[in-house]
A and B are shown apart, each in its own frame.
Chain A
Amino acid sequence: AQKVTQVQTEISVVEKEDVTLDCVYETRDTTYYLFWYKQPPSGELVFLIRRNSFDEQNEISGRYSWNFQKSTSSFNFTITASQVVDSAVYFCALSGAVSGKSTFGDGTTLTVKP
């Protein structure tokens, strides 16, 4: 069975602050994929990153960075110098490479205040 836990339900920060969204997962699969998605108020799911379980390199994309630590089963997401437009619900998801089935966390609602 798979499980994804997004530690924070809601986070509120002031613009320009850094913020980290935590994601902890459980799986019996040896190969799996981890995802982060952003869902702005408009509703669509915006793909942010996909990470293979064999690739533990951290990744940076502009103000976004991800810290994947297999030893602690965590895949945390940091936004540096947050902006109001970052306000959204963020989902972490886990997909087994064999089954393909995905389990989503409950989401973290991020509010960035000006």
Chain B
Amino acid sequence: GAVVSQHPSWVICKSGTSVKIECRSLDFQATTMFWYRQFPKQSLMLMATSNEGSKATYEQGVEKDKFLINHASLTLSTLTVTSAHPEDSSFYICSARGLAGSGELFFGEGSRLTVL
């Protein structure tokens, strides 16, 4: 089946630095990618929707200047956590969707960010 790959799987960084997480669709073109976040002991919540070549749409309460999303190509979306702080420590997961109705909708493995 189709694969969506996230990199890195784990990242530890110092407070104040920026961290980039990549989400790649390996064998299909993802017109839309979604980013989710999971706080400890909670469920996953949608952060933003990104469409290739256009600005991301953020869910209410998500700071777009904090979480920069770039969907530069049909196979790659990146999430950059800018000036990370310990409260940004979380599990981030992406999903990628092909053409609507194509049946192509798959999740990445997730990326765990720890900010010291």
A residues touching B (Cβ–Cβ < 8 Å)? 31, 33, 35, 37, 43-45, 47, 50, 52, 91, 93, 95, 97-98, 100-107
Asked if B43 is at the interface of the complex by the 8 Å CB criterion, the answer is: yes
- A102 and B112 form a contact (CB under 8 A): no
How many Cβ-Cβ contacts under 8 Å join chain A to chain B? 56
Asked if B77 is at the interface of the complex by the 8 Å CB criterion, the answer is: no
B residues touching A (Cβ–Cβ < 8 Å)? 9, 32, 34, 36, 42-46, 49, 91, 93, 95, 97, 100-101, 103, 105-107, 109-110, 112
| Interface of chain B, main secondary structure | strand
**Assuming A45-B93, A100-B32, A100-B34, what are 14 further A-B pairs, CB within 8 angstroms?**
A31-B101, A33-B105, A35-B107, A37-B107, A44-B109, A45-B109, A50-B105, A52-B103, A91-B44, A100-B105, A101-B34, A102-B34, A104-B36, A104-B43
Partner of A98, one of B100, B106, B107, B109: B100
Q: A100-B32, A100-B34, A104-B44 are in contact. Are A45 and B105 (CB under 8 A)?
A: no
